[in-house]
Amino acid sequence: MSNTKTSYTPDNDVRFMRMKQLAKYTSLSRAYLYNLIKGAEFPSSITLNGIRMWEKPAIDEWLNRSISGEK
């Protein structure tokens, strides 16, 4: 029996992302993301148990709008 721990979470199963995951997912720097958030140009975050998170569907929608040039 193996004691190897494996952690696999396909993107389809992710519902919320924290800042580090968000930066990796969007390929944008944390500083740039914070500027977007400050300027209200980014989806709102939620707070669960004191932890700031963003919903992946809202991020996907924002990315699609940004790619297509919509505001």
Report helix, strand or coil for 55. strand
- 2 is a domain residue: no
Instruction: Name the DSSP class of 50.
Output: T
- 1 is a domain residue: no
Average pLDDT, the chain: 86
- 6 is a domain residue: no
**Segment 54-70 mean pLDDT:** 92
- 3 is a domain residue: no
- 42 is a domain residue: yes
pLDDT 10s digits, 25-52: 999 999 999 999 999 999 999 999 999 9
- 22 is a domain residue: yes
Domain membership of residue 47 as a residue range:
14-68
**Segment 4-19 mean pLDDT:** 69
CB 56 within 8 A of CB 16: yes
Tokens 């929608």, residue?
61
Domain tally, the chain = 1
pLDDT at 8: 46
- 9 is a domain residue: no
- 19 is a domain residue: yes
